[in-house]
Amino acid sequence: MPNIYLKQNLAVEINSNKMMSNVIQSTFKFLEYDPEDIKLLHKHITDGGHSLDMPVKEGKFSPTASEMAINNVVGLIEEIRTSRRQMRYGKKKRLVELAADKSAEYGMLSMNQIFPSMSCNVIVKHGKHRGANIGAETNLAKNHVRICLPVTWYNRIWERNLSAVHASDGLRFVIDVKEKNLSRLNQKNIIVFRAKYLKVYKGKADEESGWIMMYETDSKPVVALYNDFAKCESLIQRRIKDRTLDVLNAI
């Protein structure tokens, strides 16, 4: 229901701006303002000019009448600018809220799939949790963990198939990644991330940091994770080789 109200309010704002714009254009036409006159008036407004020294074109109307009409135009222009700023802010805010909701939803889904025996509380660093630290709170009871994800988790991690990555000793839930520009590996189509992830062993959760390397293919990407950079690179090379052999054997 709130989304319906948001759309209705947005439609009202757009229609109102169209109406005010039509009034402005009609006033310019009635006062016989040409493009240069409009440009001068616009410059006066953007420079923060006072209404008392507003440029008024001499014409067939009294200065007082023309000034009143122009003051009305200026008020409408400022109202439109304010409305557009608010709409841009509102759109950005809604997009952030949608991203946060998706990250929380799919973060919980991924955790339940990877570690079904764990009791997990997933939050996102946004809104009432904007002061929380991204990471895992693991010093809790056995089989329980709290995780704070970045707002962009869904776009940067879930959609890139990085939420669950196989390490050499089991699955990890990826909490956050930061892509690194390493030309030597990038030239081989290997993307490198500095990463923060969660390991669970015998009901005990531990947050770890290390490296993730991803080799994108036409199907599912080849991914490797290791705390040590050199070992991670060795693992991704082996997995790329194994994937290539699998493809060749399937031909």
- DSSP assignment string, 43-88: HHHHTT--GGG-----SSS-HHHHHHHHHHHHHHHHHHHHHHHHHH
Structural domain contains residue 102: no
- The whole-angstrom separation of Cα 125 and Cα 136 is 12
How many helices (H) and strands (E) the chain has is answered by: 6, 8
**pLDDT per position as a tens digit, 207-239:** 999 999 999 887 788 999 999 999 999 999 999
As for how many domains the chain has, the answer is 2
pLDDT above 90: percentage of residues in the chain: 41
For 13, what's the count of Cα atoms within 13 Å in the CB-facing half-sphere? 18
Last residue within a domain, chosen from 71, 97, 123: 97
Whole-number mean pLDDT of the chain?
82
| 172 and 60 in a common domain | no
Average pLDDT over residues 80-90: 71
pLDDT greater at residue 99 or residue 36:
99
Q: 191, 105, 113, 179: which is closest to 149 by C-alpha?
A: 105
pLDDT at 33: 75
pLDDT tier at 133 (50, 70, 90 boundaries)? very high
Structural domain contains residue 105: no
pLDDT tier at 63 (50, 70, 90 boundaries)? low
Last residue within a domain, chosen from 63, 97, 131: 97
6-15, 35-44, 108-117, 136-145 — which is least confidently predicted? 6-15
pLDDT tier at 92 (50, 70, 90 boundaries)? low
pLDDT of 106 above 70: yes
Structural domain contains residue 218: yes
pLDDT at 183: 92
| 86 and 120 in a common domain | no
- The whole-angstrom separation of Cα 74 and Cα 94 is 30
pLDDT at 4: 45
Structural domain contains residue 123: yes
Range of the domain at 16: 2-97
| 132 and 13 in a common domain | no
pLDDT at 6: 45
pLDDT at 158: 93
| 72 and 145 in a common domain | no
Instruction: Give this prediction's pTM.
Output: 0.64
Structural domain contains residue 234: yes
